[in-house]
């Protein structure tokens, strides 16, 4: 992490990219265990953690909200989805088509975060070069 207020957006985007990467690993694990009896799908929730952190800052200005975010508070929550339900007789609740859709969506988010981080560094580089 870069310890300056100028890099707060980059730090938040970095945390989002890390959470997206971790979610990608969970989804891949779900797909790998599609035939494991009694396996329950796991997922990671980062968006609600970020939304809660932004609403707890108590200010209406987004710049001030991002400046007040604590990096340690931005950790996604891993949860087991519908642990009491299953789609199949073997107790597994992983659906391959749904997981593939989640995987595609998550990969788009991950590359969007990386692109946003690159754009922020490009802006900083442009300012420093002028």
Query: At 87, is the secondary structure helix, strand, or coil?
Result: coil
pLDDT in tens, 73-113: 677 788 887 777 777 888 899 999 999 999 999 999 999 99
9 pLDDT band, cuts 50/70/90, is: confident
Which residue spans within the chain are E strands per DSSP?
42-45, 77-80
Query: At 97, is the secondary structure helix, strand, or coil?
Result: helix
Residue environment code for 54-93, b if the CB has 16+ CB neighbours within 10 A, otherwise e? eeebeeeeeeebbeebeeeebebeeeeeeeeebeeeeebb
Task: Determine the Cα–Cα distance for residues 99 and 96; give it in Å rounded to an integer.
Answer: 5
pTM for this entry: 0.79
pLDDT in tens, 13-51: 888 899 999 999 999 999 999 999 989 999 998 888 777
pLDDT at position 97 is 95
């Amino acid at each position: 992490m870069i310890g300056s207020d100028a890099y707060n957006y980059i730090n938040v985007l970095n945390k989002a990219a890390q959470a997206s990467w971790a979610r990608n690993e969970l989804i891949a694990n779900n797909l790998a265990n599609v035939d494991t009896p009694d396996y329950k799908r796991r997922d990671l929730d980062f968006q609600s953690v970020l939304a809660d952190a932004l609403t707890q800052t108590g200010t209406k200005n987004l710049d001030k909200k991002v400046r007040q975010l604590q990096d340690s508070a931005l950790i996604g929550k891993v949860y087991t989805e519908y642990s009491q339900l299953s789609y199949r007789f073997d107790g597994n609740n992983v659906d391959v088509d749904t997981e593939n859709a989640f995987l595609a969506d998550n990969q788009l988010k991950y590359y969007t975060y990386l692109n946003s981080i690159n754009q922020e560094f490009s802006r900083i580089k442009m300012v420093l070069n002028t």
